[in-house]
Amino acid sequence: MAKKQSILVIDDEEAIRRSLDRILTFEGYKVVLASNGTLGLNLALQEEPDLVLLDIKMPKMDGLEVLQTMIQQGTQAPVVMISGHGTVQTAVEATKLGAFEFLEKPLDRDRLLLVVRNALERKGLQDENRELRQEVSERHQMIGQNHMLNGLKERIDRVAPTNATVLICGESGTGKELMARRLHQMSGRRGRFVQVNCAAIPQDLIESELFGHVKGAFTGAVENQAGKFQLADKGTIFLDEIGDMTLKTQAKVLRALQESEIEPVGAGKTIAVDVRVISATNKRLEELISQGEFREDLYYRLNVVPLESVPLDLRRDDIPALIEHFAQRFAAENNLPQPDFSAHALKKLCQRTYKGNIRELKNLVERMAILGEDYVLDDDAANKALASPVDFGIYETLKEFKEDTERKFLIAKLRQFEGNISRTAEAIQTPRSNLYKKLEHYTINVERDLAD
């Protein structure tokens, strides 16, 4: 059941307090009563009610003074002033100061409830917005102080409010999506941030995904459906993995960009949209162009402002801060105490290479937090985590995946048996000769690779 909303009534007249208490309690609100301004102010600050009903004319501390102090102290609750005969002028002033609304005595029950509902609704929206903003900005923070990253952040913040089309290039896991979200967040555009993963949508559906379709346009189109471009109206569309778009779709996207309008599949007419386009890729589009797989004219349209993400290898000084950030976030999101990584494990994390960039580092930190007993990472857990593949996405080919995994597996097992080839071979059930062959193939040196 939802928590009862609480209303604080501050009025020196007992009859008014009693009648408000009766009406509001009957409506299901939790009511707190205060018979003077000082008491009311204390309750407002301590109890954090959802709404305050505040009488203007009271002995000693009057309503206006209470209101001013509440605002100064940063109280979140909306305040509805109650004005008696002769204080309407003051009530109007109070709304200028920040009161939500005022009610005149004698109080009318229906108007009272209407104003109360409106005020609470606005408070709800404000709370939600505040939480959302905080959540968004925390989740999409770009952690790091490296000079290249700082330069990049500055560029992002400079282009964000311009509506310019941005193309983000860079290796996998380097924060391209994060950059796109920051661009939208700082853009001031009121619409939504809509993401399209061009690689994940089947090619025969991508046109309808992007531009929508009308009922009956194709088998399965049972209803009119808006496309991503329409959903992103007045906002931002993020075309991720743009290098994976077919030439046919590229032509349609080009047209949408040129004309600022789109044509839903089967509609036979176009719709104007106001969309800011950000695209991203980890492929070299120039190469795709020379191979005839990417349209040059589209490339120029998308690449008005190019931004390049920074590979983790070029900002290794940020690794400690990133570890701290991911550990903290993981703990907070899972309601766990923050893992206390050993100095040894931290050193290892800082020295390691990350082909999968920040994503690989993040996954590793989370894995360590889970594997570590009592969420304190010991070296054993670190070894286990380091010995297993972190993110399948970092591998391009099956061969690369198999070899990398096999190599890590062999090192971990050899470590377990302290470099003893016979015992290791026996444990992993392979002939010694084969293990030797593998060590040679992977250039694993027992002396060197097994030392910490």
Point out which residues bind ligand ATP (CB under 6 A).
142-144, 170, 172-178, 282, 309, 325, 358-359, 362
Q: Could you tell which of Mg ion, ligand ATP, none binds residue 250, using a CB distance below 5 to 8 A set by kind?
A: none
Closest to ligand ATP by CB, 87 or 172 = 172
Helix (H, G, I), strand (E, B) or coil at 279: strand
Closest to ligand ATP by CB, 173 or 227 = 173
Residue 249: CB minimum distance to Mg ion, A: 19
Residue 73: CB atoms within 10 Å: 10
Residue 151: CB minimum distance to ligand ATP, A: 13
**391 binding Mg ion? (CB under 5 A):** no
Residue 150: CB minimum distance to ligand ATP, A: 11
> What letter does residue 369 receive in the DSSP assignment?
H
Cα–Cα dist 29/48, whole Å: 14
Q: Could you tell which of ligand ATP, Mg ion, none binds residue 142, using a CB distance below 5 to 8 A set by kind?
A: ligand ATP
Subset of residues 245 to 274 that bind Mg ion, contact rule: CB under 5 A: none
Q: Could you tell which of ligand ATP, Mg ion, none binds residue 144, using a CB distance below 5 to 8 A set by kind?
A: ligand ATP
Cα–Cα dist 120/126, whole Å: 10
> What letter does residue 74 receive in the DSSP assignment?
T
Closest to Mg ion by CB, 5 or 236 = 236
Question: For 443, left (φ over 0), alpha (ψ -120 to 50), or beta?
Answer: left
Q: Could you tell which of ligand ATP, Mg ion, none binds residue 175, using a CB distance below 5 to 8 A set by kind?
A: ligand ATP
Instruction: Say if residues 409 and 384 touch (Cβ distance below 8 Å).
Output: no
Taking the CA atoms of residue 431, residue 435, residue 440 and residue 446 in that order, the dihedral angle to the nearest 10 degrees is: -140
Among 177, 209, 244, 318, binds Mg ion (CB under 5 A): 177
Residue 240: CB minimum distance to ligand ATP, A: 6
Read off the tokens for 451. Answer: 């030392």
Residue 163: CB minimum distance to ligand ATP, A: 22
Closest to ligand ATP by CB, 122 or 140 = 140
Cα–Cα dist 298/301, whole Å: 5
- Applying CB under 5 A, the site for Mg ion has a residue count of 2
DSSP 142-202: -----HHHHHHHHHHHHHGGG---EEEE--TTSSHHHHHHHHHHTT---S-EEEEETTTS-
For ligand ATP, the nearest residue by Cβ is 175
Residue 323: CB minimum distance to ligand ATP, A: 11
Say which residue the tokens 């302290």 belong to. Answer: 418
CA atoms within 13 A of residue 26's CA, in its CB half-sphere: 8
